[in-house]
Structure 1
Amino acid sequence: MHQLACPKCHEPLVLNQKSYRCFHGHCYDIAKQKYINLLLNPDKATNNPGDNKESLLCRQHHLNKGYYDGILNEVVQCIEKYTPSPRQLLDLGCGEGYYTYRIKQLLNDDSTIYGLDISKAGIQMATKYTKDIYWIVGNSKNIPILDHSLDVITALFTVVNVAELKRCLKNNGYIIHVTANPYHLVEFKELIYDEIKVKSDQYIRLPFDIIESYDYKQTIHLKNREDTLNLLQMTPHYYHIKKERRPILETLGEFDVTIDIRITVYQVS
């Protein structure tokens, strides 16, 4: 049973043929590709918010080659460790949907899974993995999910809204939060920046009870120029390259790069 809510009034959405409707008559059509657009105009700053299609394609190509599956496996282990099956699970900021799809594959149970992203292009790409997930165009500041209905929210390298996390999760529900440590992809940073600044992570820590928190570190070998550029172009670092440093891109080929992340499991009471 899904827990979708109207983004305007937060009343339950009910499936009626090819549309979802709430008690107040707000109606949202299911797109041909089998996703639902629950992003309201006031909740977007531009006509096409979120990652652009070029960046999403680079992310898709990179993730589909399994380079980040170590991160995926850690997240799935946390889901299975802390939440009983079946579960209501939201993958927040799901992008083009790889992690969401693979989480569903690896859990291999009757969990209800939602993938939400503000990028319409990303969600359209996600539907090509599987239709057996509730793919939603929406904003993390106005999550179209009923109050206190989720068992777990996964948030991998994405911006979250604390109030919305608390509203959507059941009492004692869990957040699995994946964030980059200062030396994540440090080899790219050394190429791009004059100085690598180590910032405190205090501003991305969430004000909930920490059940478990640990670092995951791995060196991956990017096998060719295409794979190296795909990883770089799916990160914000690519867009921060100064004009005088752009010739560096022509020299890239095989490349060893460091994954250095923090996985934190929070419980919301």
Structure 2
Amino acid sequence: MHKLACPKCHQPLILDGKTYKCQNNHCYDIAKSQYINLLLNPDKSTNNPGDNKESLMCRKNYLNQGYYDVILNEVVNYIKAHRHPQMQILDLGCGEGYYTYRMQQELNDDSIIYGLDISKDGIQMASKYTKDIYWMVGNSKNIPLVDHSLDVITALFTVVKDSEIKRCLKEDGYMIHVTANNKHLIEFKELIYDEVKVKSDQFIRLPFEVSESYDFKKTIHLRNREDTLNLLKMTPHYYHIKKDRRHVLDTLGEFDVTIDIRITVYKMS
């Protein structure tokens, strides 16, 4: 059974026809493509928050080539090793839904899976993968799920709010957090920036007990210019290219790039 909650009062949502309602009579309609918009106006800073359509399409095209499946596999393998029946799993900041959909395929069990992103365009794209996932437009600072209802939260390259993670996870639940290390996509950084700065990761570490933490590093070969540009355009680096460096885009074709990430598993108990 799903654990959807009203973003206004966090009371459980009950399906009534094509509308979800809580006991306080807050109502949310299901869209034609079977996603639900649970993003409140106070929870968004612009009329169309999140990644833009171009970035989302680049992400979709790139991820569907399988280059980042090595990252997905690390996450899925951990869940498989610790799985139990009828898990409740949230993919936080799911974007256009590739990781969420592939996670469902790989687990292939009775888990109930949710995909949440603040981008309405992203969730509309995600809903085209499958209708068997609860796709939600919402804010990670106000997760529309019942308190202490989740077994697993995955967060791949996305911002999280620790108080919401703690509220939503069960006492024995855990979160898999994938973050970028300093050498992640270093080849792009060296092309774009005059100086590559080393940043501390202390501000993205969460105040929970660490169950497991390790670095994963691999060089991948991008087979053509389209894949290379798609990867670049789905990162913030593309939007930071100065005018006097735009010419580097013309030189891109096949490309070797480094995946350098930290995978941290946090537990609540």
> For the residues of structure 2 that align with 1:79 and 1:242, how far apart are their CA atoms?
41
Structure 1 counterpart of 2:125: 125
> For the residues of structure 2 that align with 1:211 and 1:194, how far apart are their CA atoms?
38
The code of the aligned residue for 1:29 comes to D
Listed one character per residue, the Cα deviations across residues 111-141 of structure 1 (whole Å, up to 9, x for unaligned) are 0000000000000000110000000000000
> For the residues of structure 2 that align with 1:17 and 1:126, how far apart are their CA atoms?
23
Listed one character per residue, the Cα deviations across residues 197-224 of structure 1 (whole Å, up to 9, x for unaligned) are 1111111111101010011111111111
Structure 2 counterpart of 1:135: 135
CA-atom RMSD in angstroms: 0.6
Identity over aligned pairs, percent: 76
The code of the aligned residue for 2:191 comes to L
For structure 2, the 5+ residue unaligned runs are none
> For the residues of structure 2 that align with 1:74 and 1:165, how far apart are their CA atoms?
21
Structure 2 counterpart of 1:37: 37
Structure 1 residue 248 and structure 2 residue 252: aligned? Answer: no
> For the residues of structure 2 that align with 1:81 and 1:149, how far apart are their CA atoms?
20
Q: Are the counterparts in 2 of residues 221 and 255 from structure 1 also a CA contact under 8 Å?
A: yes
Structure 1 counterpart of 2:50: 50
For structure 1, the 5+ residue unaligned runs are none
> For the residues of structure 2 that align with 1:79 and 1:198, how far apart are their CA atoms?
32
> For the residues of structure 2 that align with 1:175 and 1:25, how far apart are their CA atoms?
32
> For the residues of structure 1 that align with 2:162 and 2:31, how far apart are their CA atoms?
30
> For the residues of structure 1 that align with 2:10 and 2:207, how far apart are their CA atoms?
24
Structure 1 residue 10 and structure 2 residue 18: aligned? Answer: no
SS in 2 for 1:191: helix
Structure 1 counterpart of 2:75: 75
> For the residues of structure 1 that align with 2:256 and 2:134, how far apart are their CA atoms?
36
Structure 1 counterpart of 2:196: 196
TM-score, scaled to structure 1: 0.99
Q: Are the counterparts in 2 of residues 175 and 265 from structure 1 also a CA contact under 8 Å?
A: yes
Structure 1 residue 263 and structure 2 residue 229: aligned? Answer: no
Structure 2 counterpart of 1:19: 19
> For the residues of structure 2 that align with 1:84 and 1:197, how far apart are their CA atoms?
43
Structure 2 counterpart of 1:88: 88
Matched pairs, number: 269
Q: Post-superposition shift, 1:172?
A: 1.9
Q: Post-superposition shift, 1:86?
A: 2.4
Structure 2 counterpart of 1:161: 161
Aligned residue runs from structure 1 range 144-183, under 5 A: 144-183=144-183
The code of the aligned residue for 2:199 comes to K
> For the residues of structure 2 that align with 1:86 and 1:215, how far apart are their CA atoms?
30
Listed one character per residue, the Cα deviations across residues 142-187 of structure 1 (whole Å, up to 9, x for unaligned) are 0000000000000000000000000000002100000000000000
